[in-house]
Amino acid sequence: MENKKRRSLREEWGLIWRGVGIIKEIMPGYWAYNLFCILLETFSPYFGLFMSAQLVNELAGACRIERLLILAAVTAGGGFLISVTVRILQGRRGLQENDLWSRIEGFYVDAQNHFQYEHLENPDVVLKRAEINAVQNAFGAGLMRITWSFGDFIRQCLEVGFSASLTVSMLAMTAEGEFTGILGFINSPWAAVLLVALIAVKAVVSMKSSTKFAKNVQEIYSGLAEANTRMLAYMKLEGADMLVFDLNRMVNEEFRKTELRPAWVDKYEKLSIRHEVFTTVSNAVFNILVFLFVAAKAFIGTFGIGNFILYQGTVSRFIDAIARVAEEAGLLLNNNEHLVKIYEYLDLPNDMYKGTLAVEKRDDIDYEIEFRDVSFKYPRTEGWALRHVNMKFKIGDKLAIVGENGSGKTTFIKLLCRLYDPTEGTILLNGIDITRYRYEEYMELFSVVFQDYTIFSFSLGENVAALHPYEEERVRECLVRAGMGEKLQELDEDAKEKGYDTLKRSIGPDYEAEWMQLSGGEQQKVALARALYKNAPFVILDEPTAALDPIAEAAVYENFNEIVKEKTAVFISHRLSSCRFCDEIAVFDKGELVQLGNHDVLVADDGKYRMLWNAQAKYYGGTVEA
């Protein structure tokens, strides 16, 4: 196991307190409910013990009916009110804790959405995120451990406080009269000093034992984290390939390799049994000593029989609470190792300059983009992904980007959308370096249909609008422009018969029993409609017809100008026949822009474009000779 950095107690507490603050941010009001509930839960048994002691004392003493009735009413009524209040608070707290799992996941997703894009493509960051999830899902470590152990730590501290106050009052009592021998010692202050010393020793031993146990268990958990990550990955495998190629056999073999190793299980069982035996025996021995001590104090007349019940219970709870404070402290301190990883993930730096200039809102949406001697290499790599790219295009232009895999097409788009900044050179918007514009406003200029687009199990309308509420007529218009007109009519007829609203029906079964199933091509049209709904000046289409059949693909090309209208369209495709409708075609090869022009000019030139064109056209009998 890697060496841990030694931290001061203040630093350890700082890690825990930050986690408490994050939970407060994720679930406002949780700590108020939880702490008030813990206070009442801790107070409740002491209230019962105290009132029971008063009843017994009265019964053993004056036995006044009026006082007995008052004590009984207070005991029953107070206990009832406390019990009902605790149940209500526990129910509310339980609902919040159930909701916390998804809220914590949402918190990570929100944090990720604000990361610098390069972190999302960094394998180390992806692995760190997987480790955080694996440890949380398997062992509840990380932020969820804060909700449990911090609350329990407060509970045990309150337990110590309540029980200590009564224990101290008992130790301070002495009986009247002269006693000799062991009873004289019991009645002297030295007996109280000895008992306090023994309790202190017990507390130190319990704390060391609990901390050592928690540390050893944490090491076992850490060893299982990687195996658990692999198990979760295998559990997500599904699809036709699993059946066609009978991949279940291989997956099951790998799954068995990741199961809990017997050595780890045996080690945990031995540690757990040893710890439980030590805790049980030491607590039993101490409880016997406490019982004898309190009984002797009652025997010599220090207090009545009722108070014997009270003090016997409170001293035992005091000793048990000290041990549990140590256990919860150990869990919190060892959980800090996971919190450090979480904070490292959340605190990933975002060095991308955000800019301060407002993007000009033009009625004529007259924008011009220029790449001026732009070169780029990805972080943690040595080779250039793009080299000395120079080009410009204006609003209304239809630009196709073609080239072989690895030629720099996708990198060009990432730089254009400012997911990365150039390593060298400058990208200009209307003559101004795009890094000087406010980042969020610049991003609003682009609608993108990525090749690996995402369709969510939300409603059809929410998938198109990417927000709620949305403009229904506008959603329908965008779906029709994207080629979903006939399908939309079909869905509307089905929805009318069944009493549904088409736009409000879910795509996918994750949230609703009544959901619509769309083909891959139809889902791609929904993604295209989403880009149109945003109504940004620039529309970027990365293989927008890859999942469409030939007829649907041809319809997209024929209606392309109507689809994007006056907007600038940047079109990435491996099918060169689809590029003929574009005003210009940029040809990339090995990270360089090697050709720029329209189809007729490029196909007449003995260059990369004609080579790519002929490689595809020969299957259709349309090659161009040099």
CA 422 – CA 412 distance, rounded (Å): 10
pLDDT category at 2 given cuts 50, 70, 90 is very low
Distance CA 173, CA 301 (A): 10
Residues 310 and 230 in one domain: yes
Q: Evaluate if residue 439 carries a pLDDT over 50.
A: yes
Kindly report the average pLDDT of the chain as a whole number.
81
Domain boundary among 345, 379, 413: 345
581 located within any domain: yes
Please tell me the predicted confidence (pLDDT) of residue 424.
95
User: Which of 46-50, 150-154, 289-293, 363-367 reaches the highest mean pLDDT?
Assistant: 150-154
- Structural domain includes residue 472: no
pLDDT at 626: 53
Question: What is the pLDDT, as a whole number, of residue 590?
Answer: 92
The pLDDT value recorded for residue 221 is 57
Same domain, 385 and 321: no
DSSP 514: S
Pairwise CA distance, residues 218 & 205, whole Å: 20
Claim to verify: residue 252 and residue 390 sit in the same structural domain: no
- Range with the lowest mean pLDDT among 9-13, 88-92, 216-220, 612-616? 216-220
Please check whether residue 476 lies inside any domain of the structure: no
Does 275 lie in the same domain as 395?
no
| 597-611 pLDDT per residue, tens | 988 899 888 889 999
Omega prior to 422 cis, within 30 of 0? no
Does the pLDDT value for residue 557 go beyond 80?
A: no
List of residues 6+ apart from 199 with CB closer than 8 A? 286, 318, 319, 322
Range 604-617 burial, b when 16+ CB lie within 10 A, else e: eeeebbbebbbeeb
**Is residue 595 predicted with pLDDT exceeding 90?**
yes
Would you state the structure tokens that stand for residue 208, as one six-digit string?
């060391």
Q: What is the CATH number of the domain that holds 592?
A: 3.40.50.300
Q: Is there a domain that residue 274 lies in?
A: yes
246 burial level (CB within 10 Å; 0-12, 13-18, 19+):
exposed
For residues 338 and 375, state if they share a domain: no
Same domain? For 306 and 441 the reply is: no
Q: Structure pTM?
A: 0.73
Residues sharing a CB contact under 8 Å with residue 146, sequence separation 6 or more, in sequence order: 16, 19, 20, 22, 23, 332, 335, 339
Q: What percent of the chain has pLDDT over 90?
A: 15
Query: How many angstroms separate the CA atoms of 192 and 229, rounded?
Result: 54
**Strand pairing class (368-376; 424-429):** antiparallel
Three-point CA angle 354, 355, 359, nearest 5° = 115
Same domain? 20 vs 112: yes
Q: Angle 355-356-360 (CA atoms, 0-180°, nearest 5)? A: 105
Question: What digits encode the pLDDT tens for the residues 474-530?
Answer: 999 999 988 888 889 988 888 888 777 888 888 876 666 667 888 888 888 898 899
Range with the largest mean pLDDT of 19-28, 453-462, 617-626: 19-28
- Model confidence at 46, pLDDT cuts 50, 70, 90, reads confident
Per-residue pLDDT band for 258 (boundaries 50, 70, 90) equals low
* Residue 29 or 588, more confident: 588
- Sheet holding 538-542: strands in order across? 446-449, 538-542, 568-572, 398-403, 584-589, 592-597
Q: In this structure, is residue 281 part of a structural domain?
A: yes
pLDDT band per the 50, 70, 90 thresholds, residue 546: low
- Domain of 18 in residue numbering reads as 9-345
Count: domains in the chain: 2
List the CATH number of the domain containing 159. 1.20.1560.10
Task: Say if residue 153 is in the same domain as residue 234.
Answer: yes
Report the pLDDT value the prediction gives residue 248, as an integer from 0 to 100.
66
332 in any annotated domain:
yes
Q: Are residues 323 and 386 in the same domain?
A: no
Residue 317 placed within a domain: yes
**In degrees, to the nearest 5, what angle opens at C-alpha 460 toward C-alphas 459 and 462?**
65
Whether residue 441 is found in the same domain as residue 572: yes
3-state secondary structure of 528: helix
| Nearest Cα residue to 159 out of 296, 46, 263, 285 | 46
Phi, psi at residue 567, to the nearest 5°?
-75, 160
Examine the pLDDT at 314 and tell me if it is beyond 90: no
67 and 114 in contact (C-beta within 8 Å)? no
**Is the predicted pLDDT of residue 423 greater than 90, yes or no?**
yes
235 shares a domain with 88: yes
Is residue 383 domain-shared with residue 277, that is, in the same domain? no
Handedness of CA 350, 353, 355, 359 (dihedral sign): negative
Phi and psi angles of residue 459, each rounded to the nearest 5 degrees, phi first: -70, 160
Last residue of a domain, one of 289, 310, 345: 345
Indicate whether 480 belongs to any domain: no
Residue 66, pLDDT above cutoff 70: yes
Residue 1 has pLDDT above 50, yes or no: no
